[in-house]
């Protein structure tokens, strides 16, 4: 077969099992240069392997040659990227330089055209290194396997100089490898319960499928009588697993044990799901006259003019023009959408959604369905639509709104691929009038990402759900949005004046002039407040009468440091070190931890760094620690109890902290303390570590107050704890006896409950007896309504996410200590959290 060579027995690095397994595809270096790991490409689209796995070459030559025999299935119109399909189906995407699309072809010459068959070593492109070096972000050229779910890279060269034509990578078809891999192995079973508030929806499914692709074992997820290929995000979504659902990972093959443990650990980590979905009112308010009601999807107030967004229907022919031609068209369209999505930029929320969409494009089940339809004689468009619609009907048949909402993501991909097939890349609604309130049946994430956000004052959808990707995108772009407004919203004429109050769940049609004026003033005030808060974000924080309140950031990784400082953080009030320990097979060793702590400390440039010792267990399991099965993990082995159960982990962590962070900057904090004996045990390990490292300077050792026991014995603990930081998330959970992740109780889970406030007051009083500093690092710290009450109770430091820092500082600067004390004392006597919130909003009453 052209382009597919057999790897001879003498080839270094191939195991006998590899050699037995038949045909390999050898990819030659397509250019002279330095071969580097993809992780070194300064673009997450490549370094995170969103486009596929492979190798990057930093070129020294100016010619790109074919890495193997094959057919050119795509050349980007800017000539900087092309895709070659080898005879065994492997699609090799080569992207010359980064951001070279902006050159629009300048400096590039193509020597081949789409559809041309080439031999390994044939010239494909030449480029002018000088022009590229001046204009491109980097010359580094990723060479990736775009349909990597079908191939594994069994050997690759990296960190080495390469000459064009030398062996760069060796690929093997994956199904064959996996099929062989499972022979002779027994099946591994791991049970799990889905913890994600919204179940196994698109993003978790995509992440899980991405992880499954790292293993060679056959892996399936089974729930009741349904079974899904773990490498297929759409099949995983089709299981319809909601929060609390029980399912099983079944794996068979050489690395089945590891694969099952890793998948279960990823699922049980919750994948950070609860944080990016804003709490919403699920029930629309009753309608008033001239007012439509909807469900808040993104907060805020918008005043503007109605404009409808509609999507042209795409008609597809049913009959195809031959299997080969239709397969090529579909592959080219998929590659085009992949490139388009890969080139899109956005914030972290947008990136997560884009990456889920990218993984759908590679979904093996969708590919198999579409492929089968093409074999039946259907056209590429018909086959793709049929594959998508089949999955949508599976999703829509599931109970619960979340899975139905995810159908919108599939529809989006149907639309994008059909659009690519018919060759119309028209960006929808690019010409919105200023201050548009966008009205639509539903909006696809790709449509939203293509809009000119500066012209959008709000979005009101007839359908949609509050946790749809479009809703999450709207929130991440700060656009007020309502969903589920009903069909009446589509009857509003373009150009009608509208007032959208997302917090109130209302869309006022033709609002009276006075109401418009009042709304304009409120919007202007909100903007001014926000601008003022941003302007003051870098200054140290104090109340109006000069009481200093430290406002710091909660961090989880070295990447968080830059944004936190840019947002005005005065230091780090909580480093959640467990993020270094989760989602991996082995704990990070002392040297790795030391480097990470050092990098964070250096990034903070001398500012205080409060490092929390490992807080795993409970809802944060680690695969390498065999936690005993627990009836009630939230009340079991977690936080400091794990550290004392595995003192060798604690000792290594403390040594790494002491090595990595200068004593003057370092504060160590212990989570989940309930008794003085726990603090004493940790101090003994810390003293041993200091002695071993010859560190004479004292290092403050404080505790998190997260249990009612710690709050009520704060005076006893304060005798030996150097500082306190209150974890209001857990303190509320244990005070109210409510699971902090329970979706059904979310409406009652409020840290401003007077019971929690009394525990905070007790903590502050206990601390004051020994002159200890008290901060809050739980979610309550970043609730601006709460800041004055916390200060009034004796809290002197607040730590929260970077995005909230400007607002926290602004809230503190608005009040005096006397105001705060008065408000706090009223709050302690209030009858409910709602009453406390009402007091905080109108402190004068
Ligand atoms: C808390 O419980 O408030 C806290 C800050 O810790 P975590 O949220 O990490 O459990
Ligand atoms: Mg906690």
pLDDT-above-70 percentage for the chain? 86
| Range name among 524-528, 639-643, 816-820 with the lowest pLDDT average | 524-528
On average, the pLDDT of the chain sits at 84
Q: Which ligand 1 atom is nearest residue 780's CA?
A: 3
As a whole number, mean pLDDT of residues 202-222 equals 84
Which residues pair with residue 54 across a beta bridge? 144
pLDDT at 289: 54
Tell whether ligand 1 has an atom less than 6 A from the beta carbon of residue 728. yes
CA dist., res. 437 & res. 489, Å (int): 11
pLDDT at 19: 38
Is the pLDDT assigned to residue 13 strictly greater than 50? no
Give the residue, by CA position, lying nearest to ligand 1 atom 1.
727
Tell whether ligand 1 has an atom less than 6 A from the beta carbon of residue 729. yes
Q: How confident is the model at residue 124 (pLDDT cuts 50, 70, 90)?
A: very high
Q: Which ligand 1 atom is nearest residue 729's CA?
A: 3
Tell whether ligand 1 has an atom less than 6 A from the beta carbon of residue 576. yes
Tell whether ligand 1 has an atom less than 6 A from the beta carbon of residue 369. no
| Range name among 193-197, 285-289, 354-358, 376-380 with the lowest pLDDT average | 285-289
Is the pLDDT assigned to residue 9 strictly greater than 70? no
Return the best residue to mutate from 670, 703, 725, 727 for the ligand 1 pocket (most ligand atoms within 8 A of CB): 727
Tell whether ligand 1 has an atom less than 6 A from the beta carbon of residue 274. no
pLDDT at 435: 93
Nearest listed ligand to the Cα of residue 731: 1
Q: Which ligand 1 atom is nearest residue 779's CA?
A: 3
| Residue bearing the bigger pLDDT, 681 or 129 | 681
Tell whether ligand 1 has an atom less than 6 A from the beta carbon of residue 778. yes
Distance 98 CA to ligand 2 centre (A): 41
Distance 243 CA to ligand 2 centre (A): 21
The conformation of residue 548, written as its DSSP 8-state character, comes to: B
| Range name among 179-183, 589-593, 827-831 with the lowest pLDDT average | 179-183
Dump pLDDT digits (tens) for 767-791.
999 999 999 999 899 887 899 999 9
Q: Are 396 and 266 in contact (CB under 8 A)?
A: no
Is the pLDDT assigned to residue 439 strictly greater than 50? yes
Is the pLDDT assigned to residue 6 strictly greater than 70? no
Q: Give ion ligand 2 contacts, CB < 5 A.
A: 706, 727, 730
Is the pLDDT assigned to residue 590 strictly greater than 50? yes
Instruction: Show the tokens assigned to 430.
Output: 């690019």
As a whole number, mean pLDDT of residues 189-215 equals 82
Which residues pair with residue 327 across a beta bridge? none
Distance 731 CA to ligand 1 centre (A): 8
Q: What are phi and psi of 611, to 5 degrees?
A: -100, 125
DSSP 364-401: HHHHHHHHHHHHTTB-HHHHHHHHHHHHHHHHHTSSSH
Give the residue, by CA position, lying nearest to ligand 1 atom 4.
727
Q: How confident is the model at residue 12 (pLDDT cuts 50, 70, 90)?
A: very low
Which residues pair with residue 98 across a beta bridge? 138
Q: Which of 504, 519, 496, 512 is nearest to 293 (CA)?
A: 504
| Residue bearing the bigger pLDDT, 333 or 453 | 333
Q: Are 791 and 817 in contact (CB under 8 A)?
A: yes
Q: How confident is the model at residue 15 (pLDDT cuts 50, 70, 90)?
A: very low
Distance 574 CA to ligand 1 centre (A): 9
Is the pLDDT assigned to residue 277 strictly greater than 70? no
As a whole number, mean pLDDT of residues 622-627 equals 73
Name the one residue in this structure whose structure tokens are 């025999």: 69
Q: What is the CA radius of gyration of the chain?
A: 29
Q: How confident is the model at residue 275 (pLDDT cuts 50, 70, 90)?
A: very low
| Residue bearing the bigger pLDDT, 308 or 593 | 593
As a whole number, mean pLDDT of residues 182-187 equals 69
Is the pLDDT assigned to residue 678 strictly greater than 50? yes
| Range name among 154-158, 350-354, 790-794 with the lowest pLDDT average | 350-354
Nearest listed ligand to the Cα of residue 799: 1
pLDDT-above-90 percentage for the chain? 43
Instruction: Show the tokens assigned to 395.
Output: 């999703």
Distance 611 CA to ligand 1 centre (A): 13
Residues 6+ apart with CB under 8 A from 653: 577, 590, 593, 613, 614, 643
The conformation of residue 151, written as its DSSP 8-state character, comes to: E
As a whole number, mean pLDDT of residues 472-478 equals 72
As a whole number, mean pLDDT of residues 1-15 equals 37
Tell whether ligand 1 has an atom less than 6 A from the beta carbon of residue 665. no
Q: What are phi and psi of 142, to 5 degrees?
A: -70, 140
pLDDT at 30: 96
Q: What are phi and psi of 174, to 5 degrees?
A: -75, -40
Distance 59 CA to ligand 1 centre (A): 47
Is the pLDDT assigned to residue 176 strictly greater than 50? no
Dump pLDDT digits (tens) for 722-760.
999 999 999 999 999 988 766 456 567 889 999 999 999
Tell whether ligand 1 has an atom less than 6 A from the beta carbon of residue 378. no
Distance 706 CA to ligand 2 centre (A): 6
Q: Which ligand 1 atom is nearest residue 728's CA?
A: 3
| Residue bearing the bigger pLDDT, 431 or 816 | 816
Is the pLDDT assigned to residue 493 strictly greater than 80? yes
Nearest listed ligand to the Cα of residue 760: 1
Distance 136 CA to ligand 2 centre (A): 45
As a whole number, mean pLDDT of residues 286-293 equals 69
The conformation of residue 781, written as its DSSP 8-state character, comes to: G
Q: Which of 325, 197, 217, 332 is nearest to 263 (CA)?
A: 217
User: Looking at the annotation, which residues are catalytic?
Assistant: 469, 777
CA dist., res. 574 & res. 76, Å (int): 46
Tell whether ligand 1 has an atom less than 6 A from the beta carbon of residue 777. yes
Give the residue, by CA position, lying nearest to ligand 1 atom 10.
730
pLDDT at 349: 60
| Range name among 606-620, 666-680, 687-701 with the lowest pLDDT average | 606-620
Tell whether ligand 1 has an atom less than 6 A from the beta carbon of residue 639. no
Give the residue, by CA position, lying nearest to ligand 1 atom 6.
727
| In 618-727, alpha helices (H) | 640-645, 647-660, 676-693, 708-712, 714-718
| Range name among 149-153, 191-195, 492-496, 806-810 with the lowest pLDDT average | 149-153
| Range name among 96-105, 323-332, 539-548, 655-664 with the lowest pLDDT average | 96-105
Nearest listed ligand to the Cα of residue 578: 1
The CA-atom distances, in angstroms, between 773 and each of 319, 573, 606, 793 are 74, 12, 19, 13
Q: How confident is the model at residue 816 (pLDDT cuts 50, 70, 90)?
A: very high
Nearest listed ligand to the Cα of residue 779: 1
Is the pLDDT assigned to residue 16 strictly greater than 50? no
pLDDT at 1: 39
Q: Which ligand 1 atom is nearest residue 706's CA?
A: 2
The conformation of residue 220, written as its DSSP 8-state character, comes to: E
Q: What are phi and psi of 161, to 5 degrees?
A: -75, 145
Distance 705 CA to ligand 1 centre (A): 10
As a whole number, mean pLDDT of residues 117-141 equals 87
Q: How confident is the model at residue 467 (pLDDT cuts 50, 70, 90)?
A: low
pLDDT at 404: 58
Q: Which ligand 1 atom is nearest residue 777's CA?
A: 5
CA dist., res. 266 & res. 751, Å (int): 28
As a whole number, mean pLDDT of residues 72-81 equals 83
pLDDT at 180: 45
**Does pTM surpass 0.85?**
no
Give the residue, by CA position, lying nearest to ligand 1 atom 9.
576
pLDDT at 355: 75
Q: Which ligand 1 atom is nearest residue 671's CA?
A: 6
CA dist., res. 513 & res. 536, Å (int): 34
Instruction: Show the tokens assigned to 240.
Output: 């319809």
Q: How confident is the model at residue 762 (pLDDT cuts 50, 70, 90)?
A: very high
């Amino acid at each position: 077969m052209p382009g597919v060579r057999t790897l001879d027995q003498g080839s270094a690095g191939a195991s006998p099992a590899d050699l037995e397994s038949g045909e390999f595809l050898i990819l030659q270096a397509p250019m002279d240069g330095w071969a580097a790991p993809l992780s070194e490409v300064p673009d997450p689209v490549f370094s995170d392997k969103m486009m596929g796995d492979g190798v990057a070459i930093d070129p020294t030559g100016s010619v790109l040659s074919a890495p193997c025999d094959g057919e050119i299935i795509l050349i980007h119109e800017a000539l900087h990227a092309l895709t070659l399909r080898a005879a065994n189906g492997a699609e090799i995407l080569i992207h010359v330089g980064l951001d070279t699309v902006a050159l629009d072809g300048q400096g590039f010459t193509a020597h081949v055209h789409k559809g041309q068959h080439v031999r390994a070593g044939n010239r494909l492109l030449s480029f002018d290194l000088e022009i590229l070096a001046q204009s491109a972000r980097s010359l580094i050229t990723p060479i990736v396997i775009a349909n990597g779910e079908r191939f594994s890279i069994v050997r690759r060269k990296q960190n080495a100089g390469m000459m064009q034509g030398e062996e760069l990578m060796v690929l093997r078809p994956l199904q064959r490898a996996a099929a062989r891999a499972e022979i002779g192995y027994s099946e591994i079973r791991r049970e799990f319960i889905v913890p994600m508030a919204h179940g196994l929806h698109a993003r978790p499914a995509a992440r899980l499928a991405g992880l499954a692709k790292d293993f060679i074992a056959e892996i399936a997820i089974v729930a009741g009588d349904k079974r899904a290929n773990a490498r297929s995000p759409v099949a995983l979504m089709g299981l319809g697993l909601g929060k609390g659902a029980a399912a099983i990972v079944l794996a068979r093959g050489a690395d089945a044990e590891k694969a099952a443990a890793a998948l279960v650990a990823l699922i049980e980590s919750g994948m950070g799901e609860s944080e990016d979905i804003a709490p919403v009112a699920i029930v629309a308010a009753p309608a008033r006259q001239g007012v439509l009601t909807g469900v808040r999807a993104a907060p805020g107030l918008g005043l503007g003019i109605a404009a409808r967004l509609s999507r042209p229907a795409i008609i597809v022919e049913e009959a195809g023009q031959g299997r080969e031609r239709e397969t090529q068209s579909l592959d080219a369209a998929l590659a085009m959408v992949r490139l388009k999505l890969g080139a899109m930029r956005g914030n972290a929320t947008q990136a997560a959604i884009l990456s889920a969409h990218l993984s759908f494009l590679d979904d093996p089940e969708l590919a198999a369905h579409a492929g089968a339809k093409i074999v039946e004689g259907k056209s590429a468009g018909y086959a793709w639509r049929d594959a998508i619609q089949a999955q949508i009907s599976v999703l829509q048949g599931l109970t619960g709104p979340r899975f139905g909402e995810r159908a919108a993501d599939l529809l989006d991909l149907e639309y994008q691929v059909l659009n690519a097939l018919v060759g119309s890349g028209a960006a929808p609604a690019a010409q919105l009038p200023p201050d548009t309130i966008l009205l639509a049946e539903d909006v696809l994430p790709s449509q939203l990402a293509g809009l000119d956000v500066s012209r959008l004052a709000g979005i009101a959808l007839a359908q949609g759900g509050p946790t749809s990707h479009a809703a999450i995108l709207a929130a991440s772009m700060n656009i007020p949005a309502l969903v589920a407004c009903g069909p009446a919203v589509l009857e509003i004429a373009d150009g009608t004046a509208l007032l959208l109050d997302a917090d109130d769940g209302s869309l006022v049609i033709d609002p009276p002039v006075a109401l418009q004026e009042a709304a304009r003033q409120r919007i202007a005030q909100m903007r001014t407040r926000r601008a003022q808060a941003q302007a003051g974000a870098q200054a140290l924080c104090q109340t109006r009468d000069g009481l200093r309140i430290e406002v710091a950031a909660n961090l989880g990784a070295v990447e968080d440091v830059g944004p936190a400082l840019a947002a005005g953080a005065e230091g780090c009030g909580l480093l959640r070190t467990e993020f270094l320990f989760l989602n991996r097979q082995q704990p990070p060793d002392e040297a790795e931890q030391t480097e990470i702590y050092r990098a964070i400390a250096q990034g903070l440039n001398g500012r205080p760094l409060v490092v929390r010792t490992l807080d795993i267990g409970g809802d944060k399991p680690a695969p390498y620690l065999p936690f005993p099965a627990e009836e009630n993990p939230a009340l079991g082995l977690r936080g400091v109890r794990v550290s004392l159960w595995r003192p060798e982990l604690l000792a290594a962590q403390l040594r790494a902290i002491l090595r990595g962070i200068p004593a003057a900057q370092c504060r160590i904090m212990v989570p989940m303390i309930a008794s003085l004996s726990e603090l004493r045990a940790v101090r003994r390990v810390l003293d041993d570590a200091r002695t071993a490292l010859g560190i004479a300077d004292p290092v403050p050792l404080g505790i998190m107050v997260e249990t009612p026991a710690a709050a009520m014995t704060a005076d006893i603990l304060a005798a030996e704890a150097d500082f306190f930081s209150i974890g209001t998330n857990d303190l509320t959970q244990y005070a109210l006896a409510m699971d902090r992740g329970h979706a059904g109780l979310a409406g009652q889970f409020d840290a401003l409950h007077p019971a929690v406030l009394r525990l905070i007051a007790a903590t502050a009083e206990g601390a004051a007896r020994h002159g200890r500093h008290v901060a809050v690092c739980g979610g309550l710290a970043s609730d601006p309504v709460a800041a004055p009450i916390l200060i009034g109770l004796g809290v002197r430091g607040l730590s929260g996410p970077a995005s909230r820092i400007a607002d926290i500082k602004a809230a503190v600067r608005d009040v005096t200590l006397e105001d705060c004390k008065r408000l706090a004392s009223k709050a302690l006597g209030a009858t409910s959290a709602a009453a406390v919130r009402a007091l905080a909003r109108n402190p004068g009453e």
